[in-house]
Chains A and B, each alone.
Chain A
C-alpha cells in the first residue's frame, strides 16, 4: 500500500475521531450545564453512534484525530515520514480501545459474576463506544499494513 492509501485512511480516521470527539464534548457540556444531553437531534446522533456524554473522553478522541490529521498534512506536503503519525495514531486508537475493552470486561464481571444490582440490565451493547469500534478499524488496518511501517532510504 502506498503512502497515498495511508493518507486517505488517516484522513478518514482523523475526521471521524474529531467529529465523534466534538459530539461527545458537546453532549458532555450540555449534560453538565443543563442535566441532559440537549436537543433530540444531537441525542439521536450520539445515540446512533454509541457516543456517551463525556468531555474528557471527547478531548482524547479529538487528540487522536489530530494525530492522524497531522500525518495527513505531512504526507500531503511530501514528507514521507508523516506515516509516523498514522502509525502512532493507530497505536493510540488501539490503546484506548484496549482501555474500554478492559472496562467492559469489568462491567461484564459485575453483571455476570457478581450479579450486582446496578448491572442487572447490562448487555454487551452497553459497553460499545466509539473508542472500541474505531479501534477495531485501526486494528484491521494495522494487521494489513503491519510490515509497511518502517522506512528505508529511498
Chain B
C-alpha cells in the first residue's frame, strides 16, 4: 500500500519543548536547512506511522504572529502560503495563559489545529488541574497531553493528527473584537472579496484584522492587488495604532475569560465573574441554566404584568361604557366600540407584558450573559449545521424578526447567513406574544406562563430542525468558525435597560396607533357590510371571506372567525388579536374577548393551542418578508420562506389538533 502523506507544522512559543517534540516524532529522519531568503533555520523530518508518512516542519518559536520579527513572518507565511494539513501548537502546560495569545492568532489563520499540552508533568506536580475536555470545547481543537522529554503522548498525538486530517469534528473558533472593530473587519473583507486571487489564497478575516493592526507585511501582499486603493482609503480614515491596541486588548480579555475555565490553581485569582463563567458555561449545566433563566423571564412577564393589564382593561371598559353609549349615530358608536376599542384595545392591553419582557431581555444582555449564551449554544448550533453567531439574531428575533434578519449581516459566510435569515421568522417575536397571552390566559390558567414558554421553545426547535434540513439539502456546507466574545459580567444599568425596553415597547404602541388601527377599521367595514346585516355575522363580507378560507384550516380546529383573524394577521401578527377583538369582543371591552372565547363552543383549549402553534409558525409578517427580500436579494428565497412557513405551520398545527383529539382532549 502506498503511504499517504500528511504535512504537519509545529508552532509554539520559544522554550515550550518544540524541538524536543520534533525530535521525539521524527527521530533521526531530519533535514536541517534555512527558510528561503532568510537565515532562519528550517528543520523538517518524516515519520512513518500507521501507513502514513507524516512530514513535520518545525516553525520558529514565536509569542505571536505579528510582523515585528522575521521568525513571526516566517512562521505565519509558512502556515498561510504552504497550507500544511495540520498545525500542532505546542503549549507549555505550566505557562498556559501566556501561550494562549499565540493560540488566538493561530485560530484566525483558519487552519486545522491540534494542541500538544507539553510539560504536563510539571503543571500537575505543582498542583495545577487541567480540564482537557473543557479546553477542547473552548478552543475547538483536539488537545493531547505530552511530556516530549519522556516520549509520553507522542503516539496519541500522531493518532490525533491522522484523525483530524480525515475527520475534523470541531467547529473552529475565533476571537470577537466588538462592534466597532468587527464592522471595519467586515468592510475590509467585502473589499478583499472583490479580488478572487486574494480571497482564494488568504483567510480574509485574518487579513482584514492584520490590515487594521497596520501589519506592513500584509499591506505589501495587498499592495499588488487592484483593491489596494480602496483599502488604503479605508485605513486612512482610522487611527490604526488605536485599533492595534484595541485588538490586542480584546484578545487578552478573551484569554482572561477562558483561562480560568481550563485550568485551576495555576490561575492567580478567580473573580466572581470567573466563578459565574465556570458554572454558566459548564458543558452539562450551561444550556439548562439558560433555559431556566428564559423560562423565569416569561413566568415573570405573565405574573407581574397581570395587575397592569387588568388596569388597562378597566380603562377600556370605562371608555366602552362612557364613550360609545353617548355616541350618535349608531354606526359611529359601533366603529368606536366594536372596531377601535375592541381591536386596538385588545392589542394595547398587552403593552405591560411587552415592556416587562423587553426589560428582562435587556437585563440579560446588559449583564454580558447573552454573549455567553451564544458561546454555550455554539456546540449545539454547530451540530445542527448553524453558526454560533446565528444565535444572536435568533435571540433578537424574540423582539422583532425585522432587525434580527438585518443583524445576520454580522455573519460573514453567505450560506450561514442565508440559513439564519430563513429560520429567524420561526422565532417568536413580540407581535405574537399577545396571541399567546390571550389564548393561554383564557384556556390554561396558572399554567399560562409555561404554555407561552413552550411556544417560544417550539419556535426555536422548528428553527433548529429547519436549519439542519436546509444545511443537509439545499444549502450544503460547513459552518464558518465561531467568533468568541466574552465581555466581563457587570451589573446592567437601569437607564440602558429602560431605554432598550422603551425602544421596543414604543414600536409596539406606534404600530397599534397606525397599522393596527387601519387594520381594525378595514375589518370593521368588512364585518358591517353589506348594509343591514348583523355585525360580524356569517353574512358579512368578513364572514364570507372566513367561509372561503375555512375548509383549508378546518382540520386544524379553526372556525371562520379564527381563519379571518389569521388572514389579516398576514399584514402584522398583532392584527390576529385585534381581529379577534373585533369579531368576538363585541366591543364591550378587551376583557369581554376572553369571556367570548370561553363561551364560544368552536374554541376549545385544543384549538386554542393549535391556533397558537399556527400563529407562531405561519408566514412572517409583510415587513419581515420585505427584509428577507432585501437581505437575500432574491424573490426565490422570499417565496421559499413564505411557502415553507405556511407548510410547516399547517403540519404542526394539524398534529397538535388531531393528535390532541386522538388522545381524548
Distance of A88 Cα from B271 Cα, bound (Å): 12
Distance of A88 Cα from B310 Cα, bound (Å): 36
User: Smallest distance from the beta carbon of A37 to chain B beta carbons, Å?
Assistant: 13
Which of A81, A87, A96 is the one whose CB lies under 8 Å from B264? A81
B270 touches A150 (CB 8 A): yes
A67 touches B279 (CB 8 A): yes
B285 touches A67 (CB 8 A): yes
Which of B289, B305, B314 counts the most A-chain CB atoms under 10 A from its CB?
Answer: B289
Q: With A63-B288, A92-B292, A103-B299 known to touch, is A150 a contact of B272 (CB < 8 Å)?
A: yes
**Chain A contacts of B268 at CB under 8 A?**
152-153
Q: Is A60 interfacial (CB-CB < 8 Å)?
A: yes
Complex: chain B residue closest to A70, CB-CB: B285
Encode B254-272 as 1/0 by CB contact (under 8 A) with A.
0000001000110111111
A83 touches B306 (CB 8 A): no
Encode A85-99 as 1/0 by CB contact (under 8 A) with B.
101100110011001
User: Smallest distance from the beta carbon of B480 to chain A beta carbons, Å?
Assistant: 32
Distance of A55 Cα from B274 Cα, bound (Å): 32
**Chain A contacts of B285 at CB under 8 A?**
63, 66-67, 70
Q: Is B238 interfacial (CB-CB < 8 Å)?
A: no
Which of B275, B300, B303, B450 is the one whose CB lies under 8 Å from A83? B275
Distance of A79 Cα from B266 Cα, bound (Å): 12
**Chain B contacts of A110 at CB under 8 A?**
306-307, 310
B304 touches A102 (CB 8 A): yes
Distance of A67 Cα from B34 Cα, bound (Å): 55
Distance of A113 Cα from B265 Cα, bound (Å): 55
**Chain B contacts of A81 at CB under 8 A?**
260, 264, 270, 275, 278
Q: With A67-B285, A95-B293 known to touch, is A79 a contact of B129 (CB < 8 Å)?
A: yes
Q: Is B368 interfacial (CB-CB < 8 Å)?
A: no
Complex: chain B residue closest to A113, CB-CB: B307
Complex: chain A residue closest to B450, CB-CB: A56
**Chain A contacts of B296 at CB under 8 A?**
60, 95-96, 99
Count of chain A to chain B residue pairs whose CB atoms are closer than 8 Å in the complex: 101
Which of A63, A102, A149 is the one whose CB lies under 8 Å from B292? A63
Complex: chain B residue closest to A153, CB-CB: B268
A106 touches B288 (CB 8 A): no
Distance of A99 Cα from B292 Cα, bound (Å): 12
Complex: chain A residue closest to B314, CB-CB: A114
Encode A56-92 as 1/0 by CB contact (under 8 A) with B.
1101100100110010000000011101110110011
Q: Is A105 interfacial (CB-CB < 8 Å)?
A: yes
Q: Is B494 interfacial (CB-CB < 8 Å)?
A: no
Which of B288, B289, B300 is the one whose CB lies under 8 Å from A103? B300
A87 touches B272 (CB 8 A): yes
Q: Is A42 interfacial (CB-CB < 8 Å)?
A: no
User: Smallest distance from the beta carbon of B126 to chain A beta carbons, Å?
Assistant: 11
User: Smallest distance from the beta carbon of A90 to chain B beta carbons, Å?
Assistant: 11
Q: Is A141 interfacial (CB-CB < 8 Å)?
A: no
B450 touches A109 (CB 8 A): no
User: Smallest distance from the beta carbon of B90 to chain A beta carbons, Å?
Assistant: 26
Distance of A79 Cα from B128 Cα, bound (Å): 10
Which of A70, A88, A96 is the one whose CB lies under 8 Å from B280? A88
Q: Is A123 interfacial (CB-CB < 8 Å)?
A: no
B270 touches A114 (CB 8 A): no
B280 touches A106 (CB 8 A): no
**Chain A contacts of B295 at CB under 8 A?**
56, 60
Q: Is A151 interfacial (CB-CB < 8 Å)?
A: yes
Distance of A117 Cα from B303 Cα, bound (Å): 17
Q: With A79-B264, A114-B307, A114-B310 known to touch, is A88 a contact of B276 (CB < 8 Å)?
A: yes
**Chain A contacts of B305 at CB under 8 A?**
106
Complex: chain B residue closest to A91, CB-CB: B276
Which of A59, A60, A95, A106 is the one whose CB lies under 8 Å from B304? A106
Q: Is B453 interfacial (CB-CB < 8 Å)?
A: yes
12 other contacts beyond A56-B295, A110-B306, A153-B265, with CB at 8 A cut-off? A63-B289, A67-B279, A83-B275, A84-B270, A85-B279, A87-B276, A96-B296, A105-B304, A106-B303, A106-B305, A116-B307, A150-B269
Q: A-side binding surface: helix, strand, loop or mixed?
A: helix
Q: Which 8 A-B pairs have the closest CB atoms?
A: A103-B303, A84-B275, A109-B307, A151-B270, A88-B279, A84-B278, A106-B304, A81-B264
Distance of A114 Cα from B288 Cα, bound (Å): 37
**Chain B contacts of A91 at CB under 8 A?**
276
**Chain B contacts of A113 at CB under 8 A?**
307
Q: Is B311 interfacial (CB-CB < 8 Å)?
A: yes
Encode A127-154 as 1/0 by CB contact (under 8 A) with B.
0000000000000000000000111111
**Chain A contacts of B278 at CB under 8 A?**
81, 84-85, 88
Distance of A59 Cα from B274 Cα, bound (Å): 26
User: Smallest distance from the beta carbon of B393 to chain A beta carbons, Å?
Assistant: 26
**Chain B contacts of A102 at CB under 8 A?**
300, 303-304
**Chain B contacts of A99 at CB under 8 A?**
296, 299-300, 303
**Chain A contacts of B282 at CB under 8 A?**
70
**Chain B contacts of A54 at CB under 8 A?**
447, 450
Distance of A110 Cα from B303 Cα, bound (Å): 11
A151 touches B269 (CB 8 A): yes
Which of A66, A70, A99, A154 counts the most B-chain CB atoms under 10 A from its CB?
Answer: A99
**Chain B contacts of A80 at CB under 8 A?**
264-265
Distance of A150 Cα from B307 Cα, bound (Å): 41
A-B contact pairs, 14 of them (CB 8 A): A54-B450, A56-B453, A60-B292, A63-B288, A63-B292, A80-B265, A83-B275, A84-B276, A87-B275, A88-B276, A88-B278, A102-B300, A106-B306, A109-B307
**Chain B contacts of A106 at CB under 8 A?**
303-307
Q: With A63-B288, A114-B311 known to touch, is A149 a contact of B303 (CB < 8 Å)?
A: no
A92 touches B289 (CB 8 A): yes
Distance of A83 Cα from B450 Cα, bound (Å): 32
B307 touches A149 (CB 8 A): no
Which of A70, A79, A84, A103 is the one whose CB lies under 8 Å from B274? A84
Distance of A150 Cα from B388 Cα, bound (Å): 31
User: Smallest distance from the beta carbon of B130 to chain A beta carbons, Å?
Assistant: 12
Distance of A55 Cα from B275 Cα, bound (Å): 29
**Chain A contacts of B271 at CB under 8 A?**
150
Q: With A79-B129, A91-B276, A106-B306 known to touch, is A153 a contact of B299 (CB < 8 Å)?
A: no
**Chain B contacts of A116 at CB under 8 A?**
307, 310
User: Smallest distance from the beta carbon of A60 to chain B beta carbons, Å?
Assistant: 5
**Chain B contacts of A95 at CB under 8 A?**
293, 296
